[in-house]
Amino acid sequence: MVSSSVNLLGLTVFISCIGILGNVFLIFAILQTKLSRVKSFELFLLGLAAANLEEILIVNIYDIIINQASFNTTIGTWSCRTLKFLTVFGEIGSILFTVLISIFRYQKLRNATKRVNLSIFLDSIRPAWMVSGVCVMLSMLLSIPIFVISPEGPAGNTTRNITGCPPDFFQCSQNDCPILNRCYKYLFLLVCNLLPLIIVTATSVLIISVLLRQRRTVQQVESVSGSCQFSRKSKDSKLQRSTVAVLAAMGLFQVDWSLYLIFHLTSSPTDFPLWAEMEFFIATSYTSISPYVYGIGTSLFSLKNLTKK
Pick from 51-65, 146-160, 164-178 the range whose average pLDDT is largest.
Answer: 51-65
Please tell me the total number of residues recorded for the chain in this structure.
309
Q: For residue 123, what is the DSSP state?
A: G
- What's the domain count of the chain? 1
Q: pLDDT-based confidence at 161, cuts 50/70/90?
A: very low
Assign residue 182 the CATH number of its domain. 1.20.1070.10
Mean pLDDT along residues 28-47: 84
Among the listed residues 39, 50, 246, 200, the one whose alpha carbon sits nearest the alpha carbon of residue 128: 39
Mean pLDDT of 84-112: 89
Q: Is residue 29 part of a domain?
A: yes
The predicted pLDDT at position 219 comes to: 60
CA distances from 29 to 40, 122, 286 (A): 15, 21, 20
**Residue 113 pLDDT:** 64
Question: So what's the pLDDT on residue 89?
Answer: 93
Answer yes or no: is pLDDT of 98 > 80. Answer: yes
The pTM of this model reads: 0.84
Positive/negative CA dihedral, 73, 78, 84, 90: negative
Percent share of the chain, pLDDT over 70: 68
Domain assignment present for residue 75? The answer is: yes
Please, are residues 167 and 66 in contact by the beta-carbon 8 Å criterion? yes
* Residue span of the structural domain in which 273 resides: 12-221+237-308
Q: Would residue 89 count as lying in a domain? A: yes
DSSP reduced 3-state for 225: coil
Outline where the chain has alpha helix (H): 2-31, 40-67, 77-109, 112-115, 125-143, 158-163, 179-188, 195-220, 227-266, 275-297, 303-308
Buried b (16+ CB within 10 A) or exposed e, 167-176: bbbbbbeeee
Residue 230 forms part of a structural domain = no
Residue 2, in any domain of the structure: no
Q: Has residue 4 been placed in a domain?
A: no
Burial class of residue 139 (count of CB atoms within 10 Å of its CB; 0-12, 13-18, 19+) = buried
C-alpha 37/C-alpha 42 separation (Å) is 10
pLDDT at res. 263? 82
* Residue 230: band (very low, low, confident or very high) from pLDDT cuts 50, 70, 90: very low
289 inside domain: yes
Binned at pLDDT 50, 70 and 90, residue 200 comes out as very high
pLDDT tens-digit map of 270-302:
666 677 677 778 878 899 999 999 988 887 876
Is 232 among the domain residues?
Answer: no
